A = this chain, B = another copy of it.
Amino acid sequence: MHMPLEDTIGLNLLAANQHQAEHNREQFDAWHLLCLNLMSSPGAGKTSLLERSLSQLAKEFSMAVLEGDMTTQLDAERLEAVGIPVIPITTGRACHLDASMVQGGLKLLADRLDPAELDLLWVENVGNLVCPAEFEVGEHRKVALLSVTEGEDKPLKYPVMFREADCVLITKIDLLPYLCIDMERLESHIRQVNPFCTVLRVSANTGAGFDAWHGWLHQQRNAQAPGFSPRAPLSRWEPAIH
């Protein structure tokens, strides 16, 4: 559940979340790990993307996942099957993860392993194209997924998510032959709300586009010098792969 935030109470809540998020990020920086926040509509393919990426990257990176879900642990079980540490975070009626929930997940994770040994920490958010975009969890990079089945207009209709994203993954491109969708138009809508983000086309079914996606991940990780907090302006980063 949730309520509008256009008042003092709402602004205080956002400020408190931001404070906790900055604390989380300081921890991530001290541990020299890169934290990525995956966000999308329900069913855009966050868990399927992670299944393939975790398998393919397991020899290159030390990784763990904080898995946000309202009620079930179905996604956490799918990812545990890959052999990567997964901490489920059940949000109950909350429509997004917040920084305190992620802090709670971190404490459980630290009981199982030394976070300083991780390269990448994945946060899979609740499936929601609106609310998670407003609540930082301390991530260094926000990755938004948009399925080709969702239509060309979504970046314009849900601009906050796409404005916040560092990388937009257009997913399920194996379905393109069966859909009426103009990919150039879709990408121009993303650019209209966010000219600077990386945009990549992928299919977790076929693996198409995963070389570029994993290249982007390596680039973000390589740019993360010790003590450097990558949520600084994007201009400090290498040009994005496109």
**A interface with B by C-beta (< 8 Å):** 1-6, 9-10, 13-14, 41-43, 69-72, 74-75, 93-95, 126-131, 134, 147, 149-151, 153-154, 156-160, 172, 175, 178-179
Contact = CB atoms under 8 A, between A and B. Distances in A.
Nearest to A13: B3
A134 B94 CA distance: 11
Contact of A150 (B42, B71, B126, B160): B42
Contacts of A13: 3
Interface residues of chain A: helix, strand, loop or mixed (majority): loop
Nearest to A94: B4
A42 to B, nearest CB: 5
B70 A130 contact: yes
A136 to B, nearest CB: 13
Contacts of A151: 43
Given A14-B1, A130-B128, A95 B93 contact: no
Complex copy number for this chain: 2
Nearest to A128: B130
Given A2-B5, A43-B150, A128-B131, 6 more contacts: A4-B94, A43-B147, A71-B159, A95-B131, A127-B130, A175-B178
8 contacts: A1-B10, A2-B134, A3-B3, A3-B5, A43-B150, A70-B130, A74-B153, A131-B131
Given A1-B10, A2-B95, A3-B3, A72 B130 contact: no
A186 to B, nearest CB: 11
A9 to B, nearest CB: 6
B128 A129 contact: yes
